[in-house]
Structures are given as C-alpha cells and as structure tokens.
Structure 1
C-alpha cells in the first residue's frame, strides 16, 4: 500500500508488532498438583463432585474457566471430565479472561452458548448475573492443628487478660461496671483463602474449642461452591442484601499474601487482623502475626490518591467487569453524580488495564474503575493518571474534606449507602449542585487555590431537556470543536494538534512503497 514519504518511517510512533508474538509472559505456576497420583489429582480438583453436578443438572454445554497459573492442568481436567460426563455434552476451556481471572467470565462463556461455568482456582466470589457457576477452588494441604494453635497463642499473648485459665473471671474483674452489666461476649471473625474451604469446618471447630473457656465466640460465614444467578434488576433498591458479619474488633485470616488480604485490611481498618500462612513455617513475630502495621500505610496511600481525584475535572469511568450483578446501575449512578458536580465523564471499556492503554486518553485527569473488590485497588505508580474506586470518588466529591477511615470496595454496598442517604435526605439525584462556580478550591496536592472547571451537560429550553451541541471555531481555519467538550478544549490547548491538512501550503511528497503483509509480521518496503 503506497504511503507518503513523510510517513514511511513509523518506528518513532509505533512498533513493528513483532513483540506481541515473541513476548514471553511471566506466569507463576501453581505447583500444588505436581507429583500427584490420579486419585489425588481427582480429589484435589473434585472431579467426582463436578461430574455429578453436570450430570444431575443435565448441562449440555459447559465452560471450564482457568486462570493462567492453572492452565497446565486444563488438559488433564478436560480429558477426565469428558470421559466421565458421557456423550452428548460439550466442554470448552476458557483460557484468557476478559477482565480479572478471579471473576466469572460470563461474556466468554456466552460466546459458546454455555449453560454452566466451572470456575477453577482463586475466586473473588462476586455476585454474577447470568449463568450458574460451580466453583472448584482446589484443596491445598493445611495443618489445622498447627495453624489454629499458632493464631490462638498469638492472640492470647497480645491480650494478657486471657492469660490465665480463669480468663473469663479476669476479664470481668477488669471491666467497668457498665460493661459488666452488658454481659457481651468477645467475637472473633474467621476468614480464609478459598483454597482452604474443604477444611473450614475443622478450623472453625478447633477455634471454638480453644476459645470456649474464654467466653470468645467465633463467627464464620461459609463460602458457597455452587451459585445460581439472581433475578436481574436495574433498580438499586432491589439489590440483594449481603450477609452481615457481626461487629468485631478481631479477625483471623488464614492464607498467604494476596489481594484478598489487602482488601480485608483496608475495609476493616478498625479491627485487629491476625494472619497465618499455612504454606510457610511458623516463625515468631512473622507467621502468624498481627497485621495492623500495614493497614495505616495502605490507607495513607489511598488517601493521597483520593486528594488527586479532588483536583480533577474530567473523569473516565472504566468498565472493569461485565458479569457482576448491579454494575450497570453503578455506571448510571457515577455518571449522574459527576454531572451533578459539573464534572465531565467518559465511559470507557478497555479490557485488562495497562499504562499504555490509558495513556491514550490524555484529556482525562482521573479514572474511576468499576470492577470486583479484588481488582478495584490499582497501584497508580505506573499510570499517567490516578485510578480510584467508586467509593473514593464519592468521598472526593464531598464539599468537606473529611474521611472517617471507613472504606468500601463492594460497589453494591456503595449503591445501598447512596440509596439510603437519598431516601433519608429526600434529595433528588438529578438536581445539579448549587455550589458557587467562582468559589476557589484549595488543593492539598499543589498547596494552592484552584478554580474548578464546570461542564454543563444539559440545558433547559422551552420546558424540555436538550443536549448542548453548540460549535465554536478552534482556529481561524475551518477546524471546529464542541463548545462544552473536554476533549476539544484539551486539543485546542495543545501545542501539537496532529498532522494538519495544510492544503496548498506544502508540495506533494514522493510516493514510496510502505509496509505490506498481515499483522502477524509486516514486510518493510
């Protein structure tokens, strides 16, 4: 295909595309199933339970979703299930998820008209919306006695009031009179990585036996292994209410370093979180241990990102999920919230995030990610613009600069809180904010006052709402931009505005042969 001589050398603007074919991905293999016999392999991946669910439910088309670290086991699992479920059933392996591998990829499953999704490996357990899901977490080995005894010993050592066998009596003697009359027991909440679900009941029983004489109650919410989709509804008031955990100042988490642990520390910043990694040897002060020291650092980092969001006037709403229930009402709520605050918003779906993708949207000053709780917290160090969660956006847009330390990652909870606040205040969500547009806003990032840009999306004309489409000249030539367009304003302020036409000003260049071939490997002319 002939191209202009000035455009023949494209290496300064783009790569040849060869790196996409030759690039080697760094994937950490899960070696838990190495050197297992066939019976142990079947037990680890619950082949018999999976087969029974498929046969009893009479599913004809089944999608097997694997994360990258378990792809080496996908073929053996596929062959075992194919030999057991009988003829007339089709199995499909989903190897590359649309978004995070912890979420159920209903979009990819619907491409093959699947009736059931079997999700292997770690899962965030977010509520999906379309297809029934069977979870196979895997069964990692765990020494229940060692893990539980270690957690109990560390907890009791940090609370000397329970040091004696007469712990209950000592506690009653130390409590004020008001607390004695309340006669309330201490509650410890048990949480664990999903790979230890098969031993959850044994862990719970041993913890209850260890804490029985101290009048300490252990609370636990079982993790389901089979989930059916709820009735779909776009009304936030119809969102399924979650299971409420009892108020507690202590939590036990059994599992290694992961996004689940990070989210737990942030969302329960007021609680003591004790962790134990069953895959690591016990070491005093390291495993098990109290994780309160990390919590403040994580919250401080998120608070700094939140302050950058306060200074932004143009937001990009990133769609990070298409399968979790209630993500559509949240998108509508975020657009309405930004419009009420006279902010400009763009809705963008880019799949898995990386700095190169988001750097293409230069006019956007801050991104809001709508994703599952485990994929919501993005470290923005490598990105050009900050990335915040829906809850952080709501805090950033408040008039008063206050944060109680409460943190919410479940966006269904964000919708419920917004709905309750709106019903209690009787406020209309579509009414624009009445703040003074000329009032300066102090920025904690720059240490100076700034005047926020105010974008008006709609205006009233003859009793009807119409979209503003007024056009203005960008320059004395024929180039035009939208009057209230953030992208147009950004382009107008740039010193480089792309390759301009310049008709009649430049002599034509010589035509030379450019690249040819297919995207897999071009031939240079």
Structure 2
C-alpha cells in the first residue's frame, strides 16, 4: 500500500499545504498606494482605448488580498457596461497568461498582475501590471561599478546588456542614467518591456489598432530601446537586476558564453553569476542522456496560453516518431510527482511550458523531465551539444524550418550536380 500511495493522492495535501508567497507587499494599502502600485489609471486608460467589454483580472496567490480593492477601484472608474472578472488559482504557472480561465467568462482582454514571463499570448490581448519593487538606482550603480572595476572586466568589455526582474522595470531608466554617470566609457544596451501584448495572429494582421505599443514601454528615451542581437560575448557583459530566481537561471543557461553579473536590491550586493553556468549545463546534460535512452516519451502540456505551443507539440510528435519512439500527449495542469507517477509506461517527459516553468527540479520525480530543445539534442542521430541553450518556442520552430530548407537546398544541389 505504501507504493500505491506514491502514485496517488487523496487531495488532502492540496488543502493543507502552505503556499509560499514571494512578494512582501503589505496586505493593506491606502488608496494612493493602491493607485501607484497597481497602475490603476493606466489600466483604465488601456481598457477604454481597446474598447473591451469583458475583462479578466488575473492575480497570483500573493496578490489575492488586493484583488477586491483593485476590482472595486477599476469598476468605479469604468463605464457600467464593462464587466470585470477576478481569476485565481491559475491552471499552470502564475507567471503565464491563463487564457483558458479567461475564456470561461468569454473575456475579450486580460489584465495580468504580478510577476510575468512576458510570453506572447495566443488568443487574447493582455495588459501587464508588473508591480513596483523597491530598488535604489544610485546604490545599484555604485555597487555594480565597483564590482566591475575590481575584476577589471571593463578593460576588455565595454558593453553592458541590462536585464532585470520585471518588477524593477519602472526604475530601468534611472538605473541606466546612474550607470552612465559612473561608467561613461561603457555602452549600455537596453530593450524595454512592453506593457501591452497582442496575440500572434492579431499582431500579424494588425487587427487591434487600439492597442499600440508606442507609449507602453518602460523607457523615457527611445534611443535606449536598443536591440541586443549585435552584442557579442567577447566585448559584452550582462547585468541582471533582481534576486535569485528562475529568470536568472534561464538567463545563465541561454547566455552561457557571457559573463553575467547580478545586483540583488534586497541584499544590495553585486556578484558574478556565470561561474555556476557550467554546473547548470552539466546537470541538464545528464537529463539529455536519459532522454536519449527513453523509448516512450510523454509530451507534457504545461501551457495553453503561450503562442506557438500547438505547432511545437506537433513538431515534438514528429521528431519522436522519426526517432522510432512512442509518444503520449498529457495535460495535467501543474505537474507534481503524484500525478506523473501514474504514467508508469512513460520513461521520460518533455515539458512544453513558458521559459520560466520549463526547467523543473526533477529530483522528486520518478522520470526525467526535459525541455523541447533538450529533446531535440537527445534525438539527433549523432549527439552533439556545444552548450548552446534555447527556451523560446518560436526560435526552436524557426531553426527547425531553416534546417529543413538547408537540407532541401543541398539535396537539390546534389541532384543537379549528378546530372
């Protein structure tokens, strides 16, 4: 009976478990604090500009105490025909857009509160309210400049790529200004976050002119919206503003060739993070090896709101079949060992989720859980991995398409030469 208990659950643990709250926002806010912290005026403006009539308000667990005051404040400022609905207990991760729950109330827009993975939505336009965590731009610039000078990094690398936890986006311009004062010879590249997101199809067809991104990016200076694609690891470093979190882990994995420094506003300390990148990659490489040996693979659907998740699932089925392996597609909401332990035939899972939920700590799970990119590496006829890492759905699909086109071009060229 003890073994059976491992693979089943009465549900009592879900009722009795303690929820870890990440943000320490006071449970009671004054009207002014509520207005400022949750961007009430901007939210009302965007709802009216978009002419939305049924709006879903999505809250993570830590912000639920504020959901009723926010609801009442918004309701008092919007026209009476606009309906608001509060969403709680998200289907997947709270950083993702819960478009499934929003569709239950036939919503035509979603307002997402709190930390967000900023993935492109697949169905609904989204208004982001990211929150405003405290950071001292002056101390941040002092600490970062001292750390960089102490390790003599700036003598070889003059470009700084600024990244941050989304809750610090409201201070990005001030941090850049302070860094420029202390590091005048360094170039600081920054791509601001857009607080409005469109569904992929709607964006292509320009079907929603009401939601323009022009005034919704967290930057006062358009020249700071510099794309970071031209920066190379040889002459650039990455500066991350925020504490230890999945965002930082993903940044280290996807930018393994860069030097990454972080400044934590909570501890007010700067440190070099990229020293542990190799250890992270080796841990993931172990999961890739297990995936390579698996004959039955479960495609675990961890999102229904991120653009391109359906084409990616079809792509995974295709490469698994091509490798002469069997696949099952499974939707279980938030994965845990009790749920996945029921699928004894499955030898490895591949998780289709947003970048921040793709990397699960699989120590408690019976089977390894890999990302779509890791599965692609594992199923290659000749396995090679340079340490490069991809978490973006769209990039994976684009690279697969480009690879197919390249093979077709080579085949056509070979046929032409033979004639």
TM range (shorter): 0.7 to 0.9
* Counterpart-to-counterpart distance in 2, 1:111 and 1:331: 24
* Counterpart-to-counterpart distance in 2, 1:339 and 1:17: 36
Q: Which residue is equivalent to 1:480?
A: none
Q: Quote how far apart the aligned CAs of 1:36 are.
A: 4.0
Work out whether 1:331 is the aligned partner of 2:316.
Answer: no
* Residue of 272, 288, 291 corresponding to 2:259: 272
CA contact (8 A) 2:191 2:228 kept: no
Closer, same or farther: CA 387–11 of 1 in aligned 2, 3 Å = closer
Q: Which residue is equivalent to 2:246?
A: 259
Q: Residue 353 of structure 1: SS of its match in structure 2? A: coil
Q: Residue 119 of structure 1: SS of its match in structure 2? A: strand
Within 5 Å, give how 1:174-185 maps onto structure 2.
none
Q: Quote how far apart the aligned CAs of 1:218 are.
A: 0.9
CA contact (8 A) 1:315 1:365 kept: yes
Within 5 Å, give how 1:154-173 maps onto structure 2.
154-159=147-152, 162=155
* Counterpart-to-counterpart distance in 2, 1:205 and 1:401: 46
Q: Quote how far apart the aligned CAs of 1:343 are.
A: 0.8
Q: Quote how far apart the aligned CAs of 1:207 are.
A: 2.1
Closer, same or farther: CA 360–21 of 1 in aligned 2, 3 Å = closer
Q: Residue 426 of structure 1: SS of its match in structure 2? A: helix
Closer, same or farther: CA 273–10 of 1 in aligned 2, 3 Å = closer
* Residue of 79, 83, 102 corresponding to 2:72: 79
* Counterpart-to-counterpart distance in 1, 2:388 and 2:9: 48
Q: Which residue is equivalent to 2:224?
A: none
* Counterpart-to-counterpart distance in 1, 2:203 and 2:195: 24
Q: Which residue is equivalent to 1:209?
A: 181
Within 5 Å, give how 1:437-516 maps onto structure 2.
none
Q: Quote how far apart the aligned CAs of 1:132 are.
A: 0.8
CA contact (8 A) 1:256 1:279 kept: yes
Q: Which residue is equivalent to 2:163?
A: 191
Closer, same or farther: CA 273–227 of 1 in aligned 2, 3 Å = same
* Counterpart-to-counterpart distance in 1, 2:165 and 2:262: 11
Q: Quote how far apart the aligned CAs of 1:295 are.
A: 1.1
Within 5 Å, give how 1:40-439 maps onto structure 2.
40-159=33-152, 162=155, 186-212=158-184, 214=185, 216-231=186-201, 245-249=229-233, 250-280=237-267, 282=268, 287-426=269-408
TM-score (norm 1): 0.69
* Counterpart-to-counterpart distance in 2, 1:349 and 1:137: 28
Q: Quote how far apart the aligned CAs of 1:211 are.
A: 2.5
Q: Quote how far apart the aligned CAs of 1:353 are.
A: 0.3
Q: Which residue is equivalent to 2:23?
A: 30
* Cα deviation code 1:414-468 (max 9, x no counterpart): 111111111111189xxxxxxxxxxxxxxxxxxxxxxxxxxxxxxxxxxxxxxxx
CA contact (8 A) 2:34 2:70 kept: no
CA contact (8 A) 2:122 2:306 kept: yes
CA contact (8 A) 1:266 1:407 kept: yes
* Counterpart-to-counterpart distance in 2, 1:143 and 1:21: 39
Q: Quote how far apart the aligned CAs of 1:41 are.
A: 1.9
Considering fraction of residues, name the structure with more helix: 2
CA contact (8 A) 2:8 2:339 kept: no
Q: Quote how far apart the aligned CAs of 1:130 are.
A: 1.1
TM-score (norm 2): 0.86
CA contact (8 A) 2:8 2:342 kept: no
CA contact (8 A) 1:139 1:198 kept: yes
* Counterpart-to-counterpart distance in 2, 1:289 and 1:82: 45
* Counterpart-to-counterpart distance in 2, 1:121 and 1:21: 23
* Counterpart-to-counterpart distance in 2, 1:346 and 1:10: 27
CA contact (8 A) 1:391 1:411 kept: no
Cα RMSD of the aligned pairs, angstroms, is 2.5
* Counterpart-to-counterpart distance in 2, 1:152 and 1:355: 44
* Counterpart-to-counterpart distance in 1, 2:65 and 2:355: 27
Q: Residue 342 of structure 1: SS of its match in structure 2? A: coil
* Cα deviation code 1:269-300 (max 9, x no counterpart): 111110011122x3xxxx20001222111111
* Counterpart-to-counterpart distance in 1, 2:109 and 2:11: 37
Q: Quote how far apart the aligned CAs of 1:401 are.
A: 3.2
CA contact (8 A) 1:368 1:387 kept: yes
Closer, same or farther: CA 153–301 of 1 in aligned 2, 3 Å = same
Q: Quote how far apart the aligned CAs of 1:303 are.
A: 0.7
Q: What are structure 1's unaligned runs of at least 5 residues? A: 1-8, 163-170, 172-184, 235-242, 429-525
Q: Quote how far apart the aligned CAs of 1:82 are.
A: 1.3
* Cα deviation code 1:373-401 (max 9, x no counterpart): 00100111110100001100111112223
Closer, same or farther: CA 379–11 of 1 in aligned 2, 3 Å = closer
Q: Quote how far apart the aligned CAs of 1:48 are.
A: 1.0
* Counterpart-to-counterpart distance in 1, 2:14 and 2:282: 40
